C-alpha cells in the first residue's frame, strides 16, 4: 500500500522522544492516528477533520499530534512508557461535511513501537 | 453509547468448510456497517460496507446482510480458503459519532 506511507516502520526506544510520520496520497480531508495493542482492535487516538483536531480524552498527554497540511500527519511521543508498545496506524478518509462517519478508512502499514 | 459485539475467537476451519462470524450492534442512530480484514503485518482494509438496512454486502465470496430488526451483521462465506486466514473486524459508523466503533476482532485460521 503506497497510498498511505508511514515512517519509521519499526522503532525500539527507552524513555526517549520520537516522532512518527504519515503522508497520504489519496486527497482525503480527514486523517487519524490509531493505536493497536497486541490482539486488540485499533483504538482511535486522534482525528483531524478539515484541520480540526478531535482528541480521544483517554490518550496520555505525552502524545501530541500535528497536522502540517492536509496530506501529512505527525505523532510526537515524549518520554515513552512500556504501555506505549503497540503498532501505530495512520489512516485517512473522505468525510462528509460535519461529522458524518460513513466513509471507508484507508490504513497505512503501521509503525511498530517497542519500549524497553 | 454505540457498541459492537462479535464472535470471540480464534476460529479454526479446514479449507472448503463454511464460515459464520457473528456480529451484533447497538446504536440509536442509522449506521453504516462495515467488515474489515487485517492480514499479519498490515493495516486493516475494508472488505465491504453496507449503508442501508436490509441490504447485503459482498466481496471475495464473503457476504453479510444488514438486519436492522435483529441488529445483526453476520459475516458468512460458503467455502473458506487458506488465504482467508486473517483477523476480521465488524465496525459501525454513523453521523452521531466521530469515530468508527470496532468489534473485538475474530482470528480466523484456515488449515489446508
Q: How far apart, in whole angstroms, are the C-alpha atoms of residue A3 and residue A1? A: 6
Q: Does the N-terminal peptide bond of residue A65 adopt cis geometry, omega within 30 degrees of 0?
A: no
Per DSSP, what are the bridge partners of residue A92?
A31, A106
- B68 CA to chain A: closest CA distance, Å? 16
Q: Model confidence over B66-95: pLDDT tens digits?
A: 999 999 999 999 999 999 999 999 999 876
- Asked if B10 and B104 count as a contact pair (C-beta separation under 8 A), the reply is no
Q: Work out the average pLDDT over A54-66.
A: 90
Tell which of B55, B98, B108 to mutate to test the A interface (max A CBs under 10 Å). Answer: B98
Hey, CA dihedral for A48, A52, A56, A57, is it positive or negative? Answer: positive
CA of A69 vs chain B CAs: smallest distance (Å): 21
Least reliable range by pLDDT among A7-11, A55-59, A90-94, B101-105: A55-59
Q: What is the pLDDT of residues B6-39, one digit of tens each?
A: 988 899 999 999 999 999 999 888 888 999 999 9
Please indicate if any CB of chain A lies within 8 Å of the CB of B34.
yes
**For residue A102, pLDDT beyond 70:** no
What is the distance between the alpha carbons of residues B91 and B21, in angstroms, rounded to a whole number? 13
Predicted pLDDT of residue A12: 85
Kindly state the DSSP code that residue A3 receives in the 8-state scheme: S
Q: How many residues make up chain A in this entry?
A: 116
Report residue B1's pLDDT band, with 50, 70 and 90 as the boundaries: confident
Whole-angstrom distance, CA of residue B83 vs CA of residue B59:
14
The dihedrals phi and psi of B83, each to the nearest 5 degrees, come to: -70, -10
Following CA atoms A54, A16, A38, B5 in sequence, which dihedral angle do they give, to the nearest 10 degrees? -20
Q: Determine the distance from the C-alpha atom of residue A30 to the mean position of all C-alpha atoms in its chain, rounded to a whole number.
A: 12
A chain contacts of residue B46, beta-carbon cutoff 8 Å:
104-105
Q: Grid coordinates in use for B51?
A: 449503508
Q: Contact B37/B44 with Cβ under 8 angstroms?
A: yes
Residue with cell 480531508: A29
Q: Exposed/middle/buried for B112, CB within 10 Å: 0-12, 13-18, 19+? A: exposed
> A110 with A88: CB under 8 angstroms?
yes
For chain B, the average pLDDT equals 92
The mean predicted confidence, pLDDT, of chain A is 88
Residue numbers in A near B44 (CB within 8 A): 42, 89, 105, 107
- Cα-based distances in Å from B30 to A13, A29, A65, A95, A99: 43, 23, 31, 17, 14
- Examine the pLDDT at B44 and tell me if it is beyond 90: yes
Amino acid at each position: 500500500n503506497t497510498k498511505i506511507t508511514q515512517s519509521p516502520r519499526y522503532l525500539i526506544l527507552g524513555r526517549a522522544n520520537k516522532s512518527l510520520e504519515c503522508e497520504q496520497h489519496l486527497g482525503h480531508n480527514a486523517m487519524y492516528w490509531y493505536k493497536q495493542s497486541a490482539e486488540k482492535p485499533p483504538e482511535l487516538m486522534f482525528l483531524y477533520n478539515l484541520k480540526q483536531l478531535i482528541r480521544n480524552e483517554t490518550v496520555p498527554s505525552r502524545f501530541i499530534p500535528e497536522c502540517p497540511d492536509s496530506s501529512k500527519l505527525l505523532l510526537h511521543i515524549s518520554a515513552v512508557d512500556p504501555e506505549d508498545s503497540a503498532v501505530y496506524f495512520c489512516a485517512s478518509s473522505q468525510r462528509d461535511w460535519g461529522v458524518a462517519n460513513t466513509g471507508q478508512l484507508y490504513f497505512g502499514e503501521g509503525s511498530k513501537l517497542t519500549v524497553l | 453509547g454505540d457498541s459492537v459485539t462479535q464472535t470471540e475467537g480464534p476460529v479454526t476451519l479446514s479449507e472448503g468448510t463454511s464460515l459464520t462470524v457473528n456480529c451484533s450492534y447497538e446504536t440509536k442512530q442509522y449506521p453504516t456497517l462495515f467488515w474489515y480484514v487485517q492480514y499479519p503485518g498490515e493495516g486493516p482494509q475494508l472488505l465491504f460496507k453496507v449503508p442501508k438496512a436490509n441490504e447485503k454486502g459482498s466481496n471475495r465470496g464473503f457476504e453479510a446482510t444488514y438486519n436492522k430488526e435483529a441488529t445483526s451483521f453476520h459475516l458468512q462465506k460458503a467455502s473458506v480458503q487458506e488465504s482467508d486466514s486473517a483477523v476480521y473486524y465488524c465496525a459501525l459508523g454513523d453521523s452521531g459519532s466521530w469515530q468508527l466503533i470496532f468489534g473485538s476482532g475474530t482470528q480466523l485460521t484456515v488449515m489446508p
